[in-house]
Structure 1
Amino acid sequence: MDLTGMLEISGRTDKGRVRDHNEDSIGEEVELGTVVLADGMGGYHGGEVASAIAVNTILNRLHEELPEIEPGTIDKKTGYSKESLLARTAIDEANQTIAKASQTQPQYRGMGTTVVLGLFYDNKLTFAHVGDSRMYRIRDQKLEQLTVDHTLLQELVDRGFYTPQEAQQSLNKNLVTRALGIDQQVEIDVHETAAQTGDIYLLCSDGLNDMVIDEDILATVNTFADNLQDVADNLVTLANEKGGKDNVSVVLARPLKPFPAPPLRWHKRLIRKLFK
């Protein structure tokens, strides 16, 4: 399914004002209806290798398998949609690829990455993440964080040790409890939500939300909403003006019209039945 003309996507990645190289990676595939962002860490250039592996592995897997999905199909064993299972499979493959490279190539030992993925399919958004890279939704000029950070600080907030306001001032924001590439298996959060025409979805590395408060993110999106590339550029600029202490990356996506998935072609259905 080609979402050209149905989905607008823009993004930008920047090394910031302090780091000497960029360990973030972003991917945008409007034809696939896919956006992905990864924030790498560890080793000599290991972070940028890990994040690039994550983005490329996920996009390659989706290219191979998304066209073969029958719209509306639910997996009987898990109760999940096929696109949700595909998102999970793609991220799991990325995790194993990074872990193998880390274990077999000494220069990349200890590398890992966060990831956040958005897959627009059949008027829904499937979103998945590992780590503290975030996805926000802006609807009716209001900002909502869709993902929950996989960090020690977030766990302490959930247990009542900190308020969200206190957590914003903490010096220990970036101690992630999950990342790709650390172990052969990783827990992946996957969710689905209805996507509406005019929604704006923002994926970002912590280089944005550590520097810029949610209210300023929302104000920037609303101010430049007519052009998503202007939104991306101004969010990165704002993060750098606030100090730019980390790499900063953003990807934005906006449905322009409904995007129902066409049914699987009859010959593919026949082949599937014959070899089931």
Structure 2
Amino acid sequence: MQIRFQTDVGKKRNSNQDYVAIFKNQVGVTLAVLADGMGGHQAGDVASKVAVEGIGKKWQDTNLTSPEKACSWFVTAIQAANEVVYNLGQEKPELQGMGTTIVCVAVFEEEFALAHVGDSRMYLVRDHEITQLTEDHSLVNELVLSGEITKEMAATHPRRNVLTRSVGMPGSVEVDIASHFYKAGDYLLLTSDGLTNMLADDVIKWIIDEPITLDEKVEKLISGANDAGGADNITVLLIEIGGSAHD
């Protein structure tokens, strides 16, 4: 398999609270991490950068070769990031109360492992279908799951930005983990809610399905969200699973 990564950040605010990076461990396995920070002034910027770089640095020191071990590792690494972000907020008054979402994926030879906290999402686009692989840790999603409101109502709910889990909470934070097989032709999308609040899943799928380059797909996702009126930072990391030269 050939695996290609493309990422971009469309800046809509004076400060950018999103942060994204790609890392390799000691045996060459790639980890992609995306975060969307929250907090006053520059606190969200600090939270997202500290969490992503902390997780990435730990990954670079590993030699993990299986998604099962990566899933266990994710829980430990994200818990550590949670403690660092929380303690930093306690030490510096200007950073108090900061936090961040996290969504990350490690791509192995036949499978990928993912983990997330918050409402940044990961999608799989396969055979012209889009599947959301993460479940938002948000108040409105809990209301949707309980049947109190519809998905359409959630999109305009006044408390749609309230998270029920984030990195930077006191104590421990629950981390969702999973692993899936992939195949040639798949696309894996990691994104902040700056994209998903503006573009419906079907529109995202349609753009990713277009016969354009990977870079153009990312650019079109960001410009589409901006054209739809996006006022938030929009961060997109798109992974293309291509066939080998023998396919």
**Does the TM-score normalized on the shorter chain lie above 0.5?**
yes
- Counterpart of 2:116? 129
Find the partner of 1:178 among 165, 174, 179: 165
Which of structures 1 and 2 has the bigger CA Rg?
Answer: 1
Residues 7 and 33, structure 1, Cα contact 8 Å, conserved in 2: no
Residues 34 and 117, structure 1, Cα contact 8 Å, conserved in 2: yes
Q: Mark the CA change 1:168 to 1:227 in structure 2 (over 3 Å): closer, same or farther.
A: same
- Counterpart of 2:42? 45
Unaligned runs of 5+ in 1: 73-80, 259-276
**3-state SS in 1 of match to 2:29:** coil
- Counterpart of 2:76? 89
Moved over 4 A (4+): none
Deviation string for 1:158-217 (max 9, x for gaps)?
111112222223232211100001213101000111121221010110100101111211
In 1, the alpha carbon distance for the partners of 2:154 and 2:47 equals 28
Is the counterpart of residue 33 in structure 1 residue 30 in structure 2? yes
Residues 144 and 150, structure 2, Cα contact 8 Å, conserved in 1: yes
**CA positional deviation for 1:243:** 1.1
Residues 65 and 108, structure 2, Cα contact 8 Å, conserved in 1: no
Deviation string for 1:209-235 (max 9, x for gaps)?
1011112111111115x4221111111
The one-letter code matched in structure 2 to 1:238 is G
In 1, the alpha carbon distance for the partners of 2:51 and 2:230 equals 24
Select the structure that is richer in strand. Answer: 2
Is the counterpart of residue 247 in structure 1 residue 233 in structure 2? yes
Q: For 1:51-70, list aligned pairs within 5 A.
A: 51-65=48-62, 67=63, 69=64
Aligned length: 241
Q: Among the aligned pairs, what percent are the same residue?
A: 35
**CA positional deviation for 1:250:** 0.6
How much is the aligned-residue C-alpha RMSD, in angstroms? 1.7
- Counterpart of 1:191? 178
Q: Mark the CA change 1:111 to 1:139 in structure 2 (over 3 Å): closer, same or farther.
A: same
Q: Mark the CA change 1:70 to 1:166 in structure 2 (over 3 Å): closer, same or farther.
A: closer
- Counterpart of 1:75? none
The one-letter code matched in structure 1 to 2:102 is V
Residues 151 and 175, structure 1, Cα contact 8 Å, conserved in 2: yes
**3-state SS in 2 of match to 1:13:** strand
Residues 23 and 60, structure 2, Cα contact 8 Å, conserved in 1: no
More moved, 166-175 vs 231-240? 166-175
Is the counterpart of residue 108 in structure 1 residue 102 in structure 2? no
Unaligned runs of 5+ in 2: none
**3-state SS in 2 of match to 1:185:** coil
